[in-house]
């Protein structure tokens, strides 16, 4: 394999990844959120709070309903009951594109990139909603459109530099390692300049060094005022990173609190290990 494609640790954490000044930081609140499939509750009465500027954890065994909660927050699934509130506004009935415009961004359990496109183009997709040039201006190649294209590509390169991947900008995304592809997906989410960032198992399959480099990045994102909700199976990673943790089992919250309290809770131990 070409040396440029080998996995490397991230050496720089991103700085100044906050949303634009016009988009104030926003706290996420779920109020009795439920989703039933054919009368069977996949998620039942979940309430949680993910404050702006903090990393909040959502954990639970396989099948607990964690990804269903994320899909409800992001408008992929519709609520059966309850409310989703972002920055004090009820966004429960908004569709996924509307929520993206409100500053909601996510990553997925399964990486969703355009594998034959370059790293630069995959991340550039995230900046799309911030474009001001119209389709006609781009089609005609007007100076304003060309200037904006240069500006957005410069922002992509700055983001790649912060993730230690600037030299891979023109590489095909699908040819890179799993860890690099994960980072591309995260950069694309950050390129939207979110107020709320939902991370669905971002370090699955990574070793400790890779996970720690991402932990440094996530802390930097939260420090910029973004509300981060982390869904993850790596308990050590969650305990070291999160301020407050919620625990799901069979679609219901069974515990919440700080890392130490949650780690000692017998209900949490039973959910993961059995009686």
- Give the pLDDT score at 21: 38
| Whole-number pLDDT of residue 233 | 85
pLDDT for the residue 132:
55
Q: Which residue has the tokens 């906050």?
A: 18
Domains of the chain, each with CATH number or no CATH: 23-103+194-275 (3.40.50.300), 114-176 (no CATH)
CA distance 261 to 217: 25
Dist CA 242 CA 51 (whole Å): 12
The pLDDT value given to residue 20: 39
pLDDT at res. 165: 92
pLDDT tens, residue order, the chain (275 aa): 444 444 444 434 333 444 433 467 899 999 999 999 988 999 999 999 999 999 999 999 988 999 999 999 999 999 999 999 999 999 999 999 999 989 999 998 778 899 999 999 999 988 776 555 555 555 655 666 667 677 788 888 988 988 889 999 999 999 998 888 988 998 999 998 899 999 998 988 788 888 888 898 899 999 999 999 999 888 889 999 999 999 999 999 999 999 999 989 999 988 876 65
Phi/psi for 256 (5° steps) reads: -155, 160
Task: Write out the H or E segment, with its range, that includes residue 157.
Answer: helix 143-162
Q: What is this structure's pTM?
A: 0.82
Q: Which two tokens stand for residue 62?
A: 């396989």
Q: Indicate the DSSP class of residue 180.
A: H
């Amino acid at each position: 394999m070409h040396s440029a494609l080998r996995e490397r640790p991230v050496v720089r954490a991103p700085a100044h990844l906050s949303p634009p000044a016009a988009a104030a930081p926003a706290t996420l609140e779920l109020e009795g959120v439920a989703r039933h499939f054919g009368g069977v509750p996949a998620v039942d009465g979940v309430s949680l709070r993910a404050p702006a500027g903090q990393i909040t954890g959502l954990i639970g065994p396989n099948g607990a309903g964690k990804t269903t909660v994320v899909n409800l927050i992001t408008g992929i699934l519709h609520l059966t009951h309850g409310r989703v509130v972002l920055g004090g506004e009820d966004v429960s009935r908004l569709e996924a594109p509307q929520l993206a415009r409100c500053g909601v961004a996510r990553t997925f359990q399964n990486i969703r990139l355009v594998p034959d496109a370059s790293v630069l183009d995959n991340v550039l997709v995230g900046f799309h909603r911030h474009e001001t040039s119209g389709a006609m201006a781009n089609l005609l190649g007007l100076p304003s459109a060309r200037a904006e294209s240069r500006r957005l590509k410069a922002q992509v390169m700055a983001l790649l530099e912060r993730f230690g991947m600037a030299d891979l900008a023109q590489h095909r995304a699908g040819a890179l390692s799993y860890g690099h592809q994960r980072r591309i997906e995260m950069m694309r989410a950050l390129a939207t300049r979110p107020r709320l960032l939902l991370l669905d198992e971002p370090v699955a399959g990574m070793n400790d060094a890779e996970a720690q480099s991402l932990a440094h990045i996530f802390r930097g994102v939260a420090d910029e005022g973004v509300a981060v909700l982390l869904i993850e199976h790596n308990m050590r990673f969650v305990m070291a990173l999160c301020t407050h943790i919620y625990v799901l089992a069979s679609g219901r919250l069974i515990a919440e609190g700080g890392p130490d309290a949650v780690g000692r809770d017998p209900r949490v131990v039973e959910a993961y290990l059995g009686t």
